[in-house]
Amino acid sequence: MGIYRKNACILRQMYALFENIEPYASGYLEAGQHKIYYEECGNPDGKPAVFLHGGPGGGGSSKVRGFFNPELFRIVIFDQRGCGRSKPHACLEQNTTWDLVDDIERLKEKLGIKRWLVFGGSWGSTLSLAYAQTYPNSVSELVLRGIFMLRDKELKWFYQDGASRIFPEAWEGFLEPIKEEDRHDLMDAYYKIFTGDDDKKKMEAAIAWSKWEGSVSTLSHKPDMISSYSESKFALAFALIENHYFVNKGFLENENQLISRSSVDKIRHIPAKIIQGRYDIVCPMETAWELSKNWPEAELIVAPSSGHSAFEKEITHELIKANEEFAKNG
């Protein structure tokens, strides 16, 4: 079964986010109609690492810089197509998993990087695996959190019936924009709103969609997180892009494309850590467990008292600890 640490954070010293990290360079990667924002932080001569944010559609933030020791890492953060500081905002055209995979490789080449540590959680873990399996020679290590494979059972758990039973009060808000007769297929009902012409209804639905995820990403109630997920500009890109990818099944050939043994064979040689919150409601632990069974060479670390968010204290600790360990690889 490989390496499995279930008591991940019964430790004397906990890592916390590094602070006061500012970019030393930033710019845009041109990709057809898309202008993809990126920034570099930390040590220009440090170990290259790229942060792949969640969603899809979540965008990066200044806070995520803190997962990396700025003395040890050359930190690259970019906003995927259509979100964050990338342009045009909430654009769904030419926006697929494989477009993003090519963006990552083109950005690596633009920055003159040979190989880099790839760090991604939730959707970022999906994209990390898609990228690593496509360009295995470009990846030095993988740090993955909250594993998500866009399989039907995962999407139905979170957007139809499953997580709704644990957070029924938040679920009511998710149901609100959808007519009673359309609730048998909520993903499709939202898709019809998001591709319709009623901008007011589209924004209301986007906020409801985004707020649902923000409400259930942590074990304890975090009003600030819910508020940030409910901000209109963020919510519009987050909801429209997520729904676009989910309706299209991640643009994968089949739902087991990234988790199958044959696919894992392409990256089996890459040092990797899989960090998973035991009580992750958004991306339940079953998927991380299945991935680890097909990839026993990777270390599965279970944070015993954590949910989904990378900013849960245990998970933050394990993510930074993984980066610190991999920094020693040079």
Q: Is 258 helix (H, G, I), strand (E, B) or coil?
A: coil
Q: How far apart (Å, rounded) are the C-alpha atoms in residues 125 and 147?
A: 6
C-alpha of 71 from chain center? 25
Q: Is 23 helix (H, G, I), strand (E, B) or coil?
A: strand
Tell me the sheet residues that pair with 5: 301
Any idea what DSSP says for residue 87?
B
For the annotated catalytic residues, the residue numbers are 122, 280, 308
CB 100 within 8 A of CB 80: yes
CA geometry: angle 7, 13, 18, nearest 5 deg? 110
Locate 315 and state its tokens: 């998970």
Angle between helices 97-110 and 123-134 (to 10 degrees): 70
Q: How far apart (Å, rounded) are the C-alpha atoms in residues 306 and 309?
A: 8
Q: Please give the single-letter amino acid code of residue 111.
A: L
Angle between helices 152-159 and 186-194 (to 10 degrees): 80
